[in-house]
Chains A and B, each alone.
Chain A
């Protein structure tokens, strides 16, 4: 990661803004401003790419503790397929070619381009056949009584990630038919031949980027986000041991084996309360656990916590609720771990979409039910009923987040990523 200089932060702040703005002008400005270091191309034989679309870890940089370093720039497109019937084979071929162009143009890595395509329950309703029993893909719902999100129902979702904003932007333009070549690769098919864009979501993750993007609603004017914070809330996430493995989130059986499910939500953040009303003791206690707060376990953004967040020091959540009247977010998640690891693999990022500080929480899990179980644990409803911890108050970070959108998607293996049928017979 280049967190080396102030100039670096300025540059990356600019490129983030470029992704948020989008379009030809932003790309041109972006390229003009950047050193034109070449971005590696994809392999000649696309069959050498991992069949799992969510296989990113091996292709990400790692930090000194071995944790995956998240790619800096992100784009999510919500896509609608026309009409109400099943998609045609021609359209499937077009989508396959368009996505293949991305894989040819950029190497499958943080330094090139990583992507994930998923399909919603609404999409699969176009078919008479049902999804196989190995796929748990319910329609999205609110996951706490105190939230009232919009329930997203586009047909598909495309998620792009790269360390380079210009790569994300150029890929988007190629998919929209606004570029004839992409990193030297001829663009023959575009997604817009098939889909229309229902919504465009953008964001960033990584040291320096949230601080450079804190001039937005939801963040106090005091610019409280530290220069090295990888996320708006000021702490690192995604320690190796606070993430599920890619194996754990992969569908094991049936025609979609090698795929996964994605839950894609958006939440706004109240950093006014987080930074200006709470103090660091409360922030550390609420994010991790009371033990970390009382014993100053967390330095700065939490880089000192190795690959585990040191959550083994935390009391069971119920005990903390009873004795400390405070239960940390990480602490609530701890008892849900299986073989020492959570059930979900976060690939979330921060955003200024809507002119407000927020999080696009993209999570992969074998079954959507595992996300629901995880979120139920985060709700801590039982803790609130049985202790001095409130529904939101002193109950992890629930006080500061407001979920505005939720959507569920099946992420097929790469070989089935172009307009799959529920029987997966379109490979």
Chain B
């Protein structure tokens, strides 16, 4: 696969006709085009875009899980404001990407960190908890580069537990745990047929590729400002994320009582409106500061909220911790240094 990709990167076209060249590029570590040197501290076009292969979609207990994979990818882990690039290693077979969502609402579930168990003929091959992750073509998913011993048929179990975040409405009826069973027919040649292309003109410039059009996968987008429930107080930019503040006049669905209003802060990626989970947010509402609770709601989608006494006048949103999910290329320099956003009703 690596040989093949190197050839493709070097300008060869077509996937066939390379037999006989094997062995020439075995030690060549060029698995992806080099990173753009001067990357903006913002969302930017990556060097290349890859599609993905779907091993299957399974539904159980109100959840759906897709098991998808593509070429090994570089990505960045985030711990606080510290980032760590995870480079592609020669032993990596694929970038495996389970996506889990709620069937009824179509909401992608960013709070159920799945565990992947891969076996072959009953023997253990791999046990891995893929990282929560965001990429431009995939949106929010769980992902990791993993090694498989070779072509073959693998049994894959994706186990998810109870939600970590607060959930409301129909999403509150979450199962305590669910296991999805897949069969993965992996061949290197099939992986190598996954289409991909470079972005020679756009790479490194501000912008983002669109969500891959996969009928079976939800887009992990939050509602547009116009579609967001409640009265939108305003929005602002922070670390290249759009932060929209809305107020609902009845907080009862969120545990705040019907006499209270509900302040919801909905951060999203620019261009694709992807949800931005795993942030630490607080808000100063008319002079009083309070923590916001990450909440998954069928209508608002993923947001950060709190009940407030009455419709607020001025709201300042503070980013106490930037989103802690891992980033694919194009997101690793954004959503890190995040300033306050102030809106006035």
Contacts and interface: CB of A to CB of B under 8 A. Distances in A.
Bind each other: yes
Contacts of B235: none
B284 to A, nearest CB: 16
Residue among A144, A282, A387, A389 with max Cβ neighbours from chain B (10 Å): A387
Contacts of B115: 146-147, 402
A277 interface: yes
Given A142-B177, A279-B84, A281-B84, 9 more contacts: A146-B115, A217-B124, A273-B144, A323-B320, A325-B278, A325-B321, A390-B132, A390-B324, A392-B129
Interface stretch (B49-57, B154-162, B192-200): B154-162
5 contacts: A145-B162, A277-B84, A278-B84, A385-B164, A388-B321
A264 to B, nearest CB: 19
B77 A277 contact: yes
Contacts of A389: 278, 324
A393 B177 contact: no
Contacts of A400: 129
Interface string B102-122: 000000000111010100000
A427 B164 CA distance: 49
B324 A394 contact: yes
Nearest to A404: B127
A394 B79 contact: yes
A278 B324 CA distance: 14
Contacts of B77: 277-278, 282
A234 B279 CA distance: 30
Contact of A268 (B89, B127, B160, B165): B127
Contact of A322 (B112, B132, B320): B320
A282 to B, nearest CB: 5
Contacts of A356: 124, 127
Interface string B123-152: 010011101100000000000100000000
Interface residues of B, number: 42
Interface residues of A, number: 47
B164 A391 contact: yes
Interface in A138-184: 142, 144-148
B12 interface: no
Contacts of B144: 273
A98 interface: no
A326 interface: yes
Interface string B174-189: 0011010000000000
Contacts of B128: 270, 272-273
B280 interface: yes
Given A277-B84, A393-B324, A146 B79 contact: no
Given A276-B89, A277-B84, A388-B280, A325 B113 contact: no
B164 A147 contact: no
Contacts of A355: 124
B276 to A, nearest CB: 11
Contacts of A390: 111, 113, 132, 164, 278, 324-325
B316 interface: no
B78 to A, nearest CB: 8
A279 B78 CA distance: 11
B91 A322 contact: no
Per CB-CB distance, the 10 closest pairs between chain A and chain B, nearest first, are A146-B161, A145-B161, A325-B321, A388-B321, A145-B162, A384-B164, A388-B280, A391-B164, A391-B113, A277-B86
Contacts of A217: 124
A240 interface: no
A208 interface: no
A388 B91 CA distance: 32
Interface string A272-288: 11001111011001100
Given A145-B162, A355-B124, A388 B84 contact: no
Contacts of B129: 270, 273, 392, 399-400, 402
A148 B164 contact: no
Nearest to A145: B161
Residue among B159, B161, B325 with max Cβ neighbours from chain A (10 Å): B161
Interface in A215-267: 217-218, 220-221
Nearest to A324: B80
Given A281-B82, A325-B324, A385-B166, A146 B160 contact: yes
Nearest to A399: B129
B272 interface: no
Contacts of A270: 127-129
Contacts of A268: 127
A145 B127 CA distance: 17
Nearest to B86: A277
A173 B265 CA distance: 66
B293 interface: yes
B314 to A, nearest CB: 23
Given A146-B177, A278-B77, A393 B162 contact: no
Interface string B278-307: 111000000000010110000000000000
A382 to B, nearest CB: 10
B147 to A, nearest CB: 8
A385 B124 contact: no
A3 interface: no
A377 interface: no
Residue among B164, B291, B322, B324 with max Cβ neighbours from chain A (10 Å): B164
A347 B159 CA distance: 29
Contacts of A326: 79-80
Contacts of A402: 115, 117, 127, 129
